[in-house]
Amino acid sequence: MARIPRSKQETPPHAANAIKSPRLAFTCLGAGVLLLGGFLYANPTHKQTHAKSAAQSLPAPVKVYGSKSAPVTMEVFTDYQCPTCGQFFEQTLRPMINDYVSAGKVYLVHHDYPLQMHQYSGQAARWANAAAEIGEFSDVEAALYDNQAAWTASGNLEKYVSGAMSTSDFKRMQKIMEGCEAPGPVARPGGMIPSPHPCALDAYIEHDIQLGNQVPVTGTPTYLFIYKGQKYPPGSGFVSWPILRQFIDSLLSQ
């Protein structure tokens, strides 16, 4: 199991410190880089055709919080099985959603970045995208993080996803998930590993992974900010809501 580095002191996530801080880099991905070392070269025979063509019949999943007109946009790349991502959601993103997102100050955009080192991360991303298709993304994302330890141990994602919605909505999700046999697609350094059983939802996850590789994402969670048309360098790892709020306030004061 990957060991997640713990920091003794937090660093504000402004441009220079966030990207250069050694304590923030390679959180869940750090140990995974060694595990993925044998897959550093691209696979030109990557089979995406089925997933992409099937996905055209589905609307693009909405995985956002708040208003697009908010002055600050925060994009987050996460892995639902990553312990640091769970901590970041519970202690930072959730209070931010209830505060600055609700107040119209921040527009939060979720991107999937499931890591190969986590057995169920690609499948969890599929369930989150299926939930987004029927307007249940926020409840399912919360359920996945709230119960992360349980489904990581058992692999029973359906138990906690179904508990986040009505029976009728879960049946709609099951219909979308038909053919999505595990494992789902996952990220590797500089690329991705497609599922051996591609399904319609994979195109959205693979698109997020491609966006993350362009950042580039070197650990999860990774986050970046856009304010007044300027995109700030990314930060990664855990940062508390009080520290993040100070950074957002500094942007809003400019």
Query: What confidence tens digit (pLDDT) does each residue in 211-238 have?
Result: 999 999 999 999 999 999 999 999 999 9
Q: How confident is the model at residue 189 (pLDDT cuts 50, 70, 90)?
A: confident
pLDDT for res 126: 96
Sole residue written with tokens 């046999």: 181
| In the chain, where the domains are located | 15-252
How many CB atoms lie under 10 A from the CB of residue 95?
16
Give me the mean pLDDT over the 193-206 stretch: 93
pLDDT for res 51: 39
Sign of CA dihedral 221, 84, 100, 18: negative
Min mean pLDDT across 22-26, 124-128, 229-233 is at 22-26
pLDDT for res 190: 78
Contact residues for 139 (Cβ-Cβ < 8 A; gap 6+):
131, 164, 165
DSSP annotation string for 212-252: HHHTT--SSSEEEEEETTEEPPPEES---HHHHHHHHHHHH
Report whether pLDDT(118) > 90: yes
Report whether pLDDT(91) > 60: yes
Q: Give the chain's mean pLDDT.
A: 81
Report whether pLDDT(22) > 90: no
pLDDT for res 60: 72
Min mean pLDDT across 51-55, 98-102, 241-245 is at 51-55
DSSP annotation string for 104-168: TSEEEEEEE--BTTSTTHHHHHHHHHHHHHTT-HHHHHHHHHHTHHHHHHH--HHHHHHTTS-HH
Min mean pLDDT across 54-63, 188-197, 226-235 is at 54-63
**Is residue 116 a contact partner of residue 32, using CB atoms and an 8 Å limit?**
yes
pLDDT for res 23: 32
Give the CB-side neighbour count of residue 14, counting CA atoms within 13 A.
8
Give me the mean pLDDT over the 64-70 stretch: 97
Give the C-alpha separation, 58 to 22, whole Å. 41
Q: Which of 109, 32, 114 is nearest to 81 (CA)?
A: 114
More confident residue, 9 or 71: 71
pLDDT for res 55: 44
Give the C-alpha separation, 160 to 166, whole Å. 12
**Is residue 130 a contact partner of residue 173, using CB atoms and an 8 Å limit?**
yes
Report whether pLDDT(61) > 80: yes
Report whether pLDDT(240) > 60: yes
The answer, as to whether pTM is greater than 0.85, is no
Name the pairing type of β-strands 106-112 and 72-78: parallel
Give me the mean pLDDT over the 195-206 stretch: 93
Percent of the chain with pLDDT over 70: 77
Give the C-alpha separation, 236 to 222, whole Å. 4
Sole residue written with tokens 């003794």: 8
**Is residue 28 a contact partner of residue 118, using CB atoms and an 8 Å limit?**
yes
pLDDT for res 27: 44
Give the C-alpha separation, 66 to 101, whole Å. 5
pLDDT for res 58: 54
CATH of domain 15-252: 3.40.30.10
